[in-house]
Structure 1
């Protein structure tokens, strides 16, 4: 039987004596709490973290466990779920890093704000349809009268511009009600890759690294197809010659809609010219584009579809090119029951 080594755990473990001094710690705890290259040694815990010192005092005084979710240990710059348990004359501290979970939630919150703006834009687009139709009708009447060549030319120009604006509106407001059904993710990816490669007339190579264990998703196949079509076209328009599609199951995904659940993670990597740093924070907002001729709706629709499915899309700059990482929840049958932590929550 293999010997258990606490230093192999990602969870930080610290045992604190009754006098508040550290008795023992594992490697993960040292990485979370000590400065780089330093060791915790037998320091008093309150010198390492006043918050942990106070919680140890409470556990010793009350004789019961304490739970501090997403505690910011300011001195160490770490965000952790902290569990403290009385153990004889000592207190055992468990530190579970949650920085990725917090980062994902912040991204999800930002995506939700962007989605709210997208919804407002869609409603505004709906309100614009009727007056645009009126403008186009008036231009048609002017053109029909044909009083002079200049007026006819200007009327035709008005009609063309109205048609262009209407097409943009329809393109953004075209995502209606979702129709959920089992979807084969890899079939959708293969179809979109084939379509975009054909559009580029051999100028784009799509590589695939698929995980065959990924089950069918509960999703709207048309919308998922549109999501990846937009991402692949975006890569092509960014000058990519190669796009690589990678799929994996992400266990214990940081997706906030399904904490602790499983997700399908799809990376769309390209070797294009990337996204200017100034655009990255607002990349998924409507009307934001890095191209002169771009409408700015493609990536907004991508995020909108992902959020409607309980997922999230994030942009990751690469040394050469871009990565758009898509997370979509797997079918509920794949995930186990969510557990709930027990114990007393720390205030603040």
Structure 2
């Protein structure tokens, strides 16, 4: 279940005529073992008292158990795990709760922003219930969202992004990417009050062997979830390129020509063959980028005797029996 806040906010325009009002979400969801922040702001219709006091209470129909109070003890289940995240002077009454556990699921909390505690006034009964924020504690991690920026092609740079929303910016979940090796950048972004998004982006050079990317999210409470993205890697075109030849060559002369092809199989490079009897032959393998190689075959041969046009073919055969042929015409003189 994703971390979330109910977008329906509760604003008490005049808290039982005490001259102040507050705004909080009607519900908020967090993970067991993690922390959560209930966003809260308040206003005063008159000048704000200098000795203003903020107390948070657990809703009960006939009592007022405090869950946060800087001056007095709070109930056991919230002892030592609650705090305010901003100062009263900034009119912020947001409450942080650490170490969420399932015993706090469905609890309803509400703030009291006054010089005196709520117990100093008359019994409030059911009027408070409609102004509470319900805590929803989940024990199931949501799947992280995986996406890739561009079509993955061998030898090209690509970037994959994995993100998840959460409620604990001080101890965010861990995102781990597997399936590729590259450089990671992690960013935390505030999505809305009480909700953050953690994103990890990995940049790498696509290889032929890349099949998928897996992202795992792990929370401090031990929950985890994963998502997998199939890459469907595209290979570059295996195009055989022959060096240019002069407009005319002399019969009986020695001539050299090179054929080159880009490929993604360093353990199975293409095999070249030529339509003329060569004197020498040299094959060179060069890594162009990560996952992309170039194999070049250079032959030296004697130009056949006789005027006219001679055909020179260069063939590259790949390990999958795919063949690429390039042909040039030699204008032979003599």
- TM-score, length basis structure 2: 0.21
Quick check: which one's strand share is greater?
2
Larger Rg: 2
- TM-score, length basis structure 1: 0.20
